[in-house]
């Protein structure tokens, strides 16, 4: 079994790494937060002596970091992964970052004789806790086969989307719909409350027509409509992804007017102090903005 190095033990990375340890993988871990490294070590991981030590003791290096800036620094910085890597190792980035950063890292990895995979994560942190994540993977066939056992240990749904870079671009297309639809849902439900309509009956109608969508049908009834604003995926992260989507589209000389409008709404919600809340609570912010009652389902609904 290959030795795994895991960099980035945040809300998504820590449960993913923990599931690898639980499934019997030999895993070294590193994060700037040493407390989470110690906690993972108690579960059976090996604490790494920084990125250089992690690279030295690993065959496959996984990164799960906040943004392209951190990924590029960890991978291509002067004391990063590439500086200490040896031919035959493989780097798998699972962060959600700018596709052109992914392209640069994949090209540099190939130049150094390294494999490279981008495998951004779908679903929520709660799914990562249970080992039920979804992965959109960009990789050669050989590299995909090499990382497949890791992905199977961390998730239940794995899509090989094409060569390196395809996973990241697929993630952005998916999140365009998942996040932008939340703003449409917010406006629609706010209008229903302003009209004085019964929320349960309104949703029953919507879910029986082509107007329905996954956020409104599957996520919102268990989150904001049930009064649960604890973050599974925050407004801050939703805004980040919309910004990545718009930047990636601009790089292709393509305008996305509806996504741009949704990003501005999420930016306003962040400014109003809602950034750390679940992204379904965009409806609560909008209702506050328009002096409208927040939509909530009764338990019997």
Asked whether the beta carbons of 232 and 125 are under 8 A apart, the reply is yes
Asked whether the beta carbons of 88 and 3 are under 8 A apart, the reply is no
Catalytic pick among 23, 171, 217, 240: 171
Asked whether the beta carbons of 48 and 28 are under 8 A apart, the reply is yes
- Residue 171 catalytic? yes
User: For residue 91, what are the contacts with CB-CB under 8 A and spacing of at least 6?
Assistant: 60, 61, 63, 75, 81, 85, 105, 109, 114, 115, 116, 117
Query: Looking up tokens 């820590």, which residue turns up?
Result: 14
Query: Looking up tokens 């895993």, which residue turns up?
Result: 27
User: For residue 27, what are the contacts with CB-CB under 8 A and spacing of at least 6?
Assistant: 3, 4, 5, 6, 17, 20, 21, 44, 45, 46
Q: Which residues pair with 6 in a beta bridge?
A: 29, 62
| 161-165 LR contacts (CB < 8 Å, sep 24+) | 161/136, 161/137, 162/138, 163/138, 163/139, 164/102, 164/103, 164/106, 164/116, 164/117, 164/118, 164/138, 164/139, 164/140, 165/99, 165/102, 165/103, 165/106, 165/118, 165/138
| Cβ neighbours around 300 below 10 Å, total | 5
Query: Looking up tokens 């066939």, which residue turns up?
Result: 141
The pairing of strands 155-162 and 133-138 is parallel
Just list the catalytic residues. Answer: 171
């Amino acid at each position: 079994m290959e030795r795994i190095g895991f960099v980035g033990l945040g809300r998504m990375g820590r449960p993913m790494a923990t599931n690898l340890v639980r499934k019997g993988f030999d895993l070294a871990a590193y994060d700037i937060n040493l407390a989470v490294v110690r906690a993972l070590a108690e579960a059976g991981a090996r604490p790494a002596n920084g990125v250089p030590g992690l690279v030295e003791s690993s065959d496959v290096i996984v990164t799960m970091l906040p943004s392209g800036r951190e990924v590029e620094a960890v991978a291509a910085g002067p004391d990063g992964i590439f500086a200490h890597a040896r031919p035959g190792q493989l780097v798998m980035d699972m962060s959600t970052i700018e596709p052109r950063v992914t392209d640069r890292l994949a090209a540099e990895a190939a130049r150094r004789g390294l494999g490279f995979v981008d495998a951004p994560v779908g679903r929520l942190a709660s799914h990562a806790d249970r080992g039920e994540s979804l992965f959109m993977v960009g990789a050669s066939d050989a590299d995909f086969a090499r990382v497949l056992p890791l992905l199977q240990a961390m998730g239940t749904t794995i899509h090989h989307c094409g060569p390196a870079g395809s996973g990241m671009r697929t993630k952005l297309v998916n999140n365009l719909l998942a996040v932008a639809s939340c703003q449409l849902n917010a406006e629609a439900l706010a209008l229903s409350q302003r009209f004085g309509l019964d929320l349960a009956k309104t949703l029953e109608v919507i879910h029986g027509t082509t107007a329905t969508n996954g956020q409104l049908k599957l996520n919102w009834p268990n989150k904001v409509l049930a009064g649960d604003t604890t973050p599974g995926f925050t407004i801050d992260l939703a805004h980040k992804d919309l910004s990545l989507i718009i930047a990636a589209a601009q790089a292709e000389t393509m305008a996305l007017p509806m996504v741009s409008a949704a990003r501005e709404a999420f930016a306003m919600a962040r400014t109003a102090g809602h950034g750390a809340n679940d992204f379904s609570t965009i409806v609560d912010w909008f209702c506050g903005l328009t002096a409208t009652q927040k939509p909530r389902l009764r338990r019997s609904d």
